[in-house]
């Protein structure tokens, strides 16, 4: 899944609600065997990083100023203490004003210092 995400390719129908200006500026339209697909352009792809992280490890090998971390449908497998520890460590890698997105079946029932909920399962540092 990480390699697939890194490709940044998906069916054009999934981008139908994106403005034509944004599509023209940031996306590439598929031709030949890729017809009917779009790909994030180099400018967008250069801003993204996909990687596997062991959430219970002591250190995460990622930068400390990320704008967004997507941690979807993982925390549901942890007890409350581990969940709080993982979220606290994730927040060390989110820059000020950055976001942490969780899965829809997840929530932070405990308050995590420096984090506030801005929408269901969306938290901002």
Q: Which pLDDT belongs to residue 111?
A: 65
To which H or E segment does residue 105 belong? none
| Residue corresponding to tokens 């969780």 | 102
Question: What residue ranges in the chain does DSSP mark as E strands?
Answer: 9-11, 27-29, 37-40, 66-71, 94-102, 116-119, 122-124
10-residue mean pLDDT series, the chain (125 residues): 89 94 95 94 90 90 91 90 90 94 82 83 92
| pLDDT (0 to 100) of residue 21 | 96
Strand pairing of 94-102 and 122-124?
antiparallel
Q: What is the model's pLDDT at position 9?
A: 94
pTM: 0.77
Spatial contact of 76 and 106, defined as CB atoms under 8 Å apart? yes
Q: How many CB atoms lie within 10 A of CB 64?
A: 9
pLDDT of residue 12: 94
- Look at residues 60, 7, 50, 51 and name the one whose alpha carbon lies nearest to residue 30: 7
Spatial CA neighbour of 74 closest among 99, 95, 54: 54
pLDDT, residue 80, reads 86
**Cβ contact 50:58 at 8 Å:** no
CB atoms inside a 10 Å sphere around CB 125: 19
């Amino acid at each position: 899944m990480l390699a697939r995400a890194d490709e940044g390719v998906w069916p054009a129908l999934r981008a139908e609600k994106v403005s034509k200006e944004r599509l023209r500026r940031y996306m590439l339209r598929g031709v030949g065997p890729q017809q009917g697909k779009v790909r994030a352009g180099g400018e967008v792809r250069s801003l993204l990083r996909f990687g596997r992280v062991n959430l219970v490890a002591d250190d995460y090998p990622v930068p400390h100023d990320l704008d967004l971390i997507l941690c979807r449908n993982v925390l549901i497998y942890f007890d409350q203490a581990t969940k709080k520890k993982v979220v606290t460590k994730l927040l060390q890698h989110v820059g000020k004003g950055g976001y942490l997105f969780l899965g829809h079946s997840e929530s932070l029932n405990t308050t995590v210092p420096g984090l506030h909920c801005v929408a269901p399962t969306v938290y901002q540092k």
